[in-house]
Amino acid sequence: MEQQHGSISKDYAPSIASVLYGQALGDAYGMPSELLSFKKVKELFGEIDSFEAGHPENPASAHFVAAEITDDTQMALAICDAIIEAQGIPSDNLVAKHILIWADFYGVWDKNILGPSSSKALSAIKNGSSIDELENLGTTNGCVMRIAPLGCVLPLPNLDEPSGVKRFLSHIYACTSPTHKSKVALSAASAVVAFISASIEGENPEDALDIALKISSTAYALEDEVFYSNPASRIAGATFLYKQIKAGKITLSDLSIDIDADLCALDEAAYFIREYVGTTMEISDTVASAFVAAFASNFKVRTCAKLCANLGGDTDTIGAIACAICASQGSLENFDTNELDQLEAVNNLGIKEKAKMLSDIRKSYV
């Protein structure tokens, strides 16, 4: 087996559990406000600063109870199951199998749950199409929202060895291609996977981001039929500009963002994410917003969850990704145990057990 970065003696389970709980927390915080405008979020909830049930006026989450996760984390757990069944990096068909098991179990075909790219691709696979024949060059965020578990088990390649980077990307592609084959999707997903993997090995946020951007840029250099902005450039540009704002070197008004009053740092971040980066379902908007939210929150998971939940737009997906990123820099000690207990009670996640199995799999790659 190819030697990669990591330690065979290290117990990765606490870090992996932190990532998975981070994803679930950000998802559950963002669930009530999913796809609402910022104005509507304020009208219905005031400020979301704890688990809330879905609101009757929000069709996307009206029937959800407080602390309930959405398809973002459910599909991430399906990826965990695919990894565990494979005892390593799963094939695209195994990933599709476990996503379809989830879809059938939750009856998603008759509900407005799946995004446009995922819905079309999974319906085709369910009806007998092979993944290879699908032309699913989608640019929405359905594949990146489920990709965090791969960062938990896939050690980083040597960036000076192109063949190793190519293999690293091929493993990610196996997990994205059932629903999203575009280089935009692969580039965005690889940024999240690489950042989480680097963080689990102890890299600080700036160094982990540098690694993530290099790998993401390599993925974007691959050719396909989609003409779309480079996710690595979007992430780098958005995080750089936010740091300039935070340091007082530029202001929101310099970016033609009008504000009503003096803002605290997190309020500035929310305005910047909402009005400059974007909170849509487009994958480049989503990943750039998630990374800005993580840095704006100083990698404090609960702070990040609250920030994302109140943005408006695709709050659950941005929150899930951003909080997984934050949690990769910390440990379970940074969580409120009552909130973790509530997540488990409501969703039956079994995260600590999955984390132990994923830790063993990660060690098998080093």
How do the domains of the chain map onto residue ranges? Answer: 13-363
pLDDT band at 224 (very low <50, low <70, confident <90, very high): low
Please give the pLDDT value at position 261: 62
pLDDT band at 3 (very low <50, low <70, confident <90, very high): very low
pLDDT at 1 over 50: no
What is d(CA 334, CA 197) in angstroms, rounded to the nearest whole number?
19
Please give the pLDDT value at position 226: 62
- In three-state form (DSSP H/G/I as H, E/B as E, the rest C), the secondary structure along the chain is CCCCCCCCCCCCHHHHHHHHHHHHHHHHHHCCCCCECHHHHHHHHCCCCCCCCCCCCCCCCCCCCCCCCCHHHHHHHHHHHHHHHHCCCCCHHHHHHHHHHHHHHHCHHHCCCCCHHHHHHHHHHHCCCCHHHCCCCCCECCCHHHCHHHHHHCCCCCCCCHHHHHHHHHHHHHHHCCCCCCHHHHHHHHHHHHHHHHHHCCCCHHHHHHHHHHHHHHHHCCCCCCCCCCHHHHHHHHHHHHHHHHCCCCCHHHHCCCCCCCCCHHHHHHHHHHHHHCCCCEHHHHHHHHHHHHHHCCCCHHHHHHHHHCCCECHHHHHHHHHHHHHCCCCHHHCCHHHHHHHHHHHCCCHHHHHHHHHHHHHCCC
State how far Cα 362 lies from the chain centre.
Answer: 19
Share of the chain above pLDDT 70, in %: 94
pLDDT (tens digit per residue) in 252-275: 999 999 876 656 667 899 999 999
Please give the pLDDT value at position 10: 84
For the domain covering 13-363, report its CATH number: 1.10.4080.10
Please give the pLDDT value at position 341: 97
pLDDT at 45 over 70: yes
Please give the pLDDT value at position 250: 95
pLDDT band at 8 (very low <50, low <70, confident <90, very high): low
